[in-house]
Amino acid sequence: MKSFKKLVMVFTVIAVLGAASAAYAATTKTPAEIAAGLTGKSVEALYQERAAGQTYGSIANEAGKLEEFKTQMLEQKKIILDQRVADGKLTQERADAIYNAMQSNQADCDGTGKARMGKNAGLGLGQGNGMGNGRGAGAGAGSCNGLGAGNCDGSGLRAGQGPSK
């Protein structure tokens, strides 16, 4: 009977974690999905533009939607930071510092990739190895607590490059 109770408990924990992960995944969007919603272009079309060298921020800017893009990107990063605090992977103090740095960085961002935003902010919150914010024709996957070395695209942080923690 004890084994059965343990088995039920394990399945319950797995179900709760699965539901929480699904809810988290359902609330976050990639930069391509945000830009698509603002510009009316398909995600696939935006992947092609991105592969041709444009940033999602510059695409949003061309559509007159850069400020909205930056706001929505910051909201997405806040969701990720909050989840990492809830998961015990990040302190609230560190999350607040990162969020404040992203807000400050976005003030200087024109979406072209020249502002070199988020250097050393880390956590892989930008494009590339971030939380599903891939480059090119894929949506990317995985999370890397990197050193943040990428380009300003309106997202607030640069690509997470560096060793995983």
- pLDDT, tens only, 79-126: 999 999 999 999 999 999 999 998 888 888 888 876 555 455 555 555
Let me know: does 123 contact 165? Beta carbons within 8 Å. no
Summarize pLDDT for 122-141 with one digit per residue, the tens.
555 554 433 344 444 444 43
The CA distance from 69 to 3, in Å, is: 52
pTM over 0.95: no
pLDDT (0 to 100) of residue 99: 92
The CA distance from 103 to 105, in Å, is: 6
pLDDT (0 to 100) of residue 75: 93
